[in-house]
């Protein structure tokens, strides 16, 4: 399997495979998500990112609501076919539903931990690309804490 030529993705016990999505121009990690067999097939066939939303328990065409569709440039699978790396073009859009270009917009400081309950993160993206309240027009946010 590690060096074979036939696609044989290994979906987990819930029928999902993890996906890391990066910007094809910059290489920046945009998001981490999951694909079901249907999402994976639709992604391959349409050349647009489809995921399985674990919080909504539904197929999700990335950008259908926001307009920031992820156009697939390259799709890779790891050696044992249990993880996917997808390179996408987001144009002038964003990938994070809270308004940032990347879902990885904060960094965690490295070094000695003084208080593990109060580790202050640093915002690496200073400005949001869009206002989620306007784009999603009051739709519930399944990841809001």
Give the pLDDT confidence of 78-128 residue by residue, as tens digits.
999 999 999 999 999 889 988 899 999 999 999 999 999 999 999 999 999
pLDDT at 113: 94
Contacts of residue 97, Cβ cutoff 8 Å, sequence gap at least 6: 66, 132, 136, 141, 143
Q: Which of 94, 124, 110, 120 is nearest to 31 (CA)?
A: 94
Would the pTM of this model clear 0.85, i.e. be above it?
yes
What's the CATH code of the domain at 47?
3.10.20.810
pLDDT band at 141 (very low <50, low <70, confident <90, very high): low
Residue 37 lies in a domain: yes
* Alpha carbon distance 10, 3 (integer Å): 15
Is residue 49 included in any domain, yes or no? Answer: yes
Mean pLDDT on 51-80: 94
Average pLDDT, the chain: 92
Q: How far apart are CA 57 and CA 95, in angstroms?
A: 19
Provide the domain limits for residue 58.
Answer: 17-133
119 domain-assigned? yes
Average pLDDT over residues 66-87: 96
> Which one, of 39, 26, 14, 17, lies nearest residue 85 by Cα?
17
Number of domains in the chain: 1
């Amino acid at each position: 399997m590690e060096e074979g030529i036939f696609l044989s993705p290994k979906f987990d016990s819930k029928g999902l495979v993890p996906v890391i999505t990066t910007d094809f121009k910059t290489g920046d990690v945009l998001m981490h998500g999951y694909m079901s067999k249907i999402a994976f097939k639709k992604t391959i066939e349409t050349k647009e990112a489809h995921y399985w939303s674990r919080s909504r328990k539904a197929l999700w065409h990335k950008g259908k609501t926001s307009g920031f569709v992820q156009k697939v440039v390259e799709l890779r699978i790891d050696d044992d076919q249990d993880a996917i790396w997808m390179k996408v073009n987001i144009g002038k859009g964003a990938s994070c539903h809270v308004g940032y270009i990347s879902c990885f917009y904060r960094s965690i400081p490295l070094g000695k931990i003084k208080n593990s309950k109060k580790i202050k993160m640093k915002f690496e993206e200073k400005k949001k690309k869009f206002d989620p309240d306007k784009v999603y027009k009051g739709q519930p946010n399944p990841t809001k804490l």
